[in-house]
Homo-oligomer: A and B are copies of this chain.
Amino acid sequence: MSDSPEKLSVWCAGEEWCPITTTASLIGKKWHPVIIHRLLENGPSGFNELKEDVDGISSKVLSDSLEDLQEKGLVDREVINEQPFRVNYSLTDLGASLEPVISEMAAWGQRYLEEPTESDEATQ
């Protein structure tokens, strides 16, 4: 993994460019952080493998999210076999460079969020 991926040029909503807004626009979608986290933890994965790791996602949404992440240059898709058909998703260098961000999010969640109990579950 290179430690200096190419920079990404992304336009941003406001009038002034803001690194936080822009970063949020990259990973601020519902499933993006989890997908990146799984790819960081488990390494390159196939589609259904990823679908099982990312609990609760539908194939359509996973497909959409992966396409989005590819466009943003954070994820690579590689067809590694035609028959049987096999695909590999992996992080680009830029995607992998998000590791500190993702692990801060995970750490924060573990420290400050409480796992719902059975009774919480019943009320949902």
- Interface residues in chain A, defined as those with a beta carbon under 8 Å from any beta carbon in chain B: 5, 7-25, 28-34, 37, 54-57, 94, 97-98, 100-102, 104-117, 120-121, 124
B105 x A20 contact (CB < 8 A): yes
With A30-B25, A56-B13 known as contacts, the answer to whether A100 contacts B104 (CB < 8 A) is yes
Q: Which residues of B contact A56 (CB under 8 A)?
A: 13-15, 21
A8 in complex: contacting residue of B8, B25, B112, B121, CB < 8 Å = B112
The 4 A-B pairs with the shortest beta carbon distances in the complex, nearest first, are A19-B109, A14-B56, A14-B55, A23-B109
Contacts of A55 in B (CB 8 A): 14-16, 18, 21
Report if A116-B17 is in contact (Cβ < 8 Å); known contacts: A101-B101, A101-B108, A108-B97. Answer: yes
Return chain B residues, CB-CB under 8 Å to A121: 11
- B contact residues around A31 at 8 Å (CB): 21, 24
A-B contact pairs, 8 of them (CB 8 A): A8-B113, A11-B116, A13-B56, A15-B55, A18-B109, A21-B55, A22-B113, A24-B28
